[in-house]
Amino acid sequence: MARTVYYTATTLDGFIADPNDSLEWLLRQTEEPPDDGFIDGVGAIVMGATTYEWVLRNLDGPWPYEVPAWVMTHRKLGLPEAGKDGKTPDIRFAKGSVSDHYFEMCTVTGDRDLWVMGGGDLAGQFADEGLLDEIITWTAPVVLGRGRPLMPRRLDLELLDVGRSDPFVIARHRVIGPLLEDSPTE
């Protein structure tokens, strides 16, 4: 059965980008994350407009993903150029809630995973709807102090696995649900 997985790099203090949406902190790491097989298990990708625009700005060649990609946005965005094979990437712009498009996304994935590529608020929207199964983080030895949070939600998680790939600590968590204990009162 397909899982919905938020798979991302983060800083030690829980940010996925600095306040200017820069990933320079990640790009300067001495080691490139190894191929852990995650991408081979992905049947579709979903990302927010900011992540999509970052990928487009930093492309070095054709669109890097062969699976369908949803971009959750309320803005009009352009498509990347066709690859050398002349094929236009399968990118679908979507408005509304993630639950409005979830069935179609999962239908396309078949028995492979839906990768919530970014950002933290988008992953939080999946969690809010009870549609996020796992969070896999690659934690870099960097502290930013502020920026875009990994997950701007209160969630209860179960640690499934932990590992290391210099300089990253890799953790895989199952999402149990909203964290209700010690909930702030309004």
Find the range with the poorest average confidence among 17-31, 114-128, 135-149, 152-166: 17-31
Per-residue pLDDT, 61: 82
Residue 11, in any domain of the structure: yes
Distance between CA atoms of residues 130 and 128, nearest Å: 6
Per-residue pLDDT, 86: 80
Alpha helices by DSSP H, listed for 110-147, are: 120-128
Split at pLDDT 50, 70, 90, the class of 184 is low
Residue span of the structural domain in which 58 resides: 1-27+38-46+54-68+116-160+169-178
Residue 149, in any domain of the structure: yes
Split at pLDDT 50, 70, 90, the class of 4 is very high
Per-residue pLDDT, 34: 64
pTM beyond 0.85, yes or no: yes
CB burial string 114-137: b at 16+ within 10 A, e below: bbbbbbbebbbbbbeeebbbbbbb
pLDDT at 120 over 90: yes
Residue 33, in any domain of the structure: no
Per-residue pLDDT, 31: 65
Question: To the nearest whole percent, how much of the chain has pLDDT over 90?
Answer: 75
> Which helix (H) or strand (E) is 56 found in, with range?
helix 49-57
Region 70-99: mean pLDDT is: 90
Residue 122, in any domain of the structure: yes
What total of structural domains would you count in the chain? 1
Residue 85, in any domain of the structure: no
Residue 73, in any domain of the structure: no
Per-residue pLDDT, 60: 83
Distance between CA atoms of residues 125 and 123, nearest Å: 5
